[in-house]
Structure 1
């Protein structure tokens, strides 16, 4: 496409869409449109919801717009917060009922939205099912399943190290550093046209090039998106199935999703486990409800309860001061974020404001889909937590 045009000039060949530079579609300002139209930007695979019944979402809706709480920028009403943080979709669940549901920026109940790194937690849920079946051993070496990685920085790392992002593999996660691993992942994932023909053309090729180990395995947390893709390669190797089919068969259909989901594909047909998952707001709510219910839906155990319990078996000392501004007591376990190891709250995060906040003790969840300005902003994350705490209290007390 011709990137010299203004970003919101309409394409004369496709009047419903803006003209978007191919290499910038996942960043502002274009993401306000593209996060709801990823299938028009990149190759994707369908994740079928299956023929079964839909998991009900009973409603007990209340007006939350005037609820006031403290953000990092001062006091805001909930309506102001949702607008200022570029919300696209927002839902609150309490005791299994929908308390609030908002669609903004043109999002519709039937339209899928890019989850970014919430995809990691979806992948983890399926991974836990395979562990429960004995197909994968988290304590085994990564090279048991992927012997090709013997010559990489993953040599000696266990599967659990990768689940917790405590492997010592060197991976530069920065988005703007020229030639960073993250930029190479953008090309390898199939999201963009070829930036540099010398860079990897598939995610697997990129993994094979991660030959450096910068620290001992298991000693410190370091967020690296490629870890989730390594997990997906293990899942595919252990089952002989593609990731999209695994998510459909093991999670999306048994859970009772209402709509199909989809996932982006690299040039080799690999589903991008680290950030390519797309689903509707209501189906993200069903995913949250499934986890709040200990992995059960329709009276069946879908995700093992032990896997969900293990999420909260996290080590703040290994986590260190990462995300200190928003999560001073934070931790990370099995591809989920922990607000505080002493609480039962666990969360899914994705850049540009994708959040799922779950508190099993209060039977409460908050789902937020966004297209915020900054990929990562600790103030925004702190505001999300403050909003969740205030809404959780509101659902308990009514005030």
Structure 2
């Protein structure tokens, strides 16, 4: 069993066994790259503290808040109001200074970085086929597909995110992290399932393809590009880490490790329309396009997710 495979197996990922004890140290267990804390860290001010209600109503029934946080394996809960912290609690992470694996929150960081790369001219148009920038096999899922369709998870690539099925696409994507495997190779050989731009299906391979696009278009690693264009401008307070495959490629679909407060900075950035301290960090039109569906297949209720629930705690 390879070193990477052994690490994943020891964590017991997606088996239903408790996993949270490992989620603050995956970047030490697996190959990773580091982003250093900003030279000018931004620290959210404290606002007027709010307490959570003891219960709330959902689907016609009262739900106990503490029980809900327990059964949903809530790791940390940070609430900002107008840029100030009004509620903060840590349940599984171990505290404010702990870097925690993002899983799919990383996808939002990658989207923001693509928007910056477009603004800087590294990517002339999101109507370009992504295969102009990344290596794919002829006739495979990403051959000739617009970057825009990949950004909107409408590439048409086949995807099964059933974590309980060891032969599923997400299981095979994880296996590509092992020595001898390659995330780029997985993307290059992905199989098509539907016509691009017609079906919105949650697909981690789409974001991995965008990660490779960033590297090829900018000539820099995701780590380096994010350090300069997000990490430093947003004043990230703590070091951050990207998990890497055996070739050194970042796990773009879910491998960034940050503190809760540094994760929150991306949300605050988007609340402010991409501006931070008077600087337009992410183009305003990119932020707007990221949160508003522009085609019927992207509307709520039209999106597909093929997955099985798992527990972290």
Band of TM-score, shorter chain? 0.7 to 0.9
Match of 1:270 among 246, 249, 258: 249
1:130 aligns with 2:117: yes
Structure 2 CA distance for partners of 1:148 and 1:87, relative to 1, 3 Å:
closer
Match of 2:270 among 287, 291, 298: 291
Match of 2:10 among 22, 31, 35: 22
Q: Which residue of 2 aligns with 1:377?
A: none
Q: Which runs of 5+ in 1 are unaligned?
A: 2-18, 195-199, 321-326, 333-350, 354-370, 374-399
Structure 2 CA distance for partners of 1:74 and 1:257, relative to 1, 3 Å:
same
Match of 1:213 among 189, 192, 203: 192
- In the TM superposition, 1:1-399 aligns within 5 A as 21-22=9-10, 24-25=12-13, 27-51=15-39, 53-72=40-59, 74-136=61-123, 137-190=125-178, 201-210=181-190, 212-315=191-294, 317-319=296-298, 328=301, 372=312
Distance in structure 2 (CA, Å) of the matches to 1:118 and 1:186: 17
Q: Which runs of 5+ in 2 are unaligned?
A: 2-6
Structure 2 CA distance for partners of 1:185 and 1:121, relative to 1, 3 Å:
same
- Aligned-CA RMSD value: 2.8
Greater relative contact order structure (CA < 8 Å, 6+ sep): 2
| Aligned residue-pair number | 306
**3-state SS of the aligned residue for 2:75?**
strand
Deviates more, 1:226-235 or 1:177-186: 177-186
- Is contact 2:136–2:187 with CA below 8 Å preserved after alignment? no
Structure 2 CA distance for partners of 1:288 and 1:27, relative to 1, 3 Å:
farther
- Is contact 1:55–1:298 with CA below 8 Å preserved after alignment? no
Q: Which residue of 2 aligns with 1:359?
A: none
Shift of 1:23: 6.4
Structure 2 CA distance for partners of 1:99 and 1:159, relative to 1, 3 Å:
same
Q: Which residue of 2 aligns with 1:5?
A: none
- Is contact 2:136–2:142 with CA below 8 Å preserved after alignment? no
Shift of 1:232: 0.8
- Is contact 1:315–1:331 with CA below 8 Å preserved after alignment? no
Structure 2 CA distance for partners of 1:28 and 1:174, relative to 1, 3 Å:
closer
Shift of 1:85: 2.0
**3-state SS of the aligned residue for 2:194?**
coil
Q: Which residue of 2 aligns with 1:4?
A: none
**3-state SS of the aligned residue for 2:242?**
strand
Q: Which has the higher strand share?
A: 1
Residue-by-residue CA offset, 1:270-316 (whole Å, 9 max, x unaligned): 00000111100111122211111111112211111111011133147
- Is contact 2:176–2:186 with CA below 8 Å preserved after alignment? yes
- Is contact 1:25–1:31 with CA below 8 Å preserved after alignment? yes
Q: Which residue of 2 aligns with 1:376?
A: none
Shift of 1:104: 1.1
**3-state SS of the aligned residue for 2:30?**
coil
- Is contact 1:64–1:78 with CA below 8 Å preserved after alignment? no
- Is contact 1:316–1:331 with CA below 8 Å preserved after alignment? no
**3-state SS of the aligned residue for 2:154?**
coil
Distance in structure 2 (CA, Å) of the matches to 1:352 and 1:118: 17
Structure 2 CA distance for partners of 1:63 and 1:81, relative to 1, 3 Å:
farther
Distance in structure 1 (CA, Å) of the matches to 2:284 and 2:277: 15
TM-score of the two chains, using structure 1 as the length reference: 0.70
